[in-house]
Amino acid sequence: MRPRTTALAVLVLPVLVSGCAPAPVHRLSSDDLIKAATRVLTDDCLSRRGLSAPRPDRSPPSSAEQQRVSDALFGTGPAQLSVRLPTGFVVRAHSDGCLAAAQQRLYGDQRRWFRASTIVDNLGPEATHARLPLATVRERHSADLADWRRMRSRAVTAAVALLRVNSPTA
């Protein structure tokens, strides 16, 4: 597994492979709604590719199968998306995997979501790096925050609709 894929897999796979029974849609937090919908979408995508996501109740797949699942989930080749943060760090991601397709469906624009979420997720480090109050950094990125909120709201609505269709207990 490539280092950048490994790091992303460590962060995202637990969300995608949790073995817990789903709670009714109306009881889930916004984060949990989006996580559950992402899992449904990525599982469907993997299934269409003849793969299945690892689960705690299944035997671990071979390393070759793990690599195929990782490639299908996170994409392959050079990263198509890139954001340079004010701290100087560059964050990259693929737009060709099952996770990217799920983000496209939920957020409506995977490229914009990647940009906005990367910036918003790094406001604290930017404030620390620039030695500025977090409120000042948030003000500088008010358009990114507004974009993030708008797309996240869309994702919650899309997740509720998707989970109601895919869950008999919703």
Tens digit of each residue's pLDDT (9 = 90 or more) over 26-82: 689 999 999 999 999 999 999 999 999 888 888 888 999 999 999 999 999 899 999
pLDDT band at 134 (very low <50, low <70, confident <90, very high): very high
Q: Is the pTM of this model over 0.85?
A: no
pLDDT band at 4 (very low <50, low <70, confident <90, very high): very low
Distances (CA, A) of 35 to 39, 70, 75, 80, 85: 6, 18, 19, 23, 25
Residue 164, amino acid = R
Position 123 pLDDT exceeds 60: yes
CA gyration radius, the chain:
17
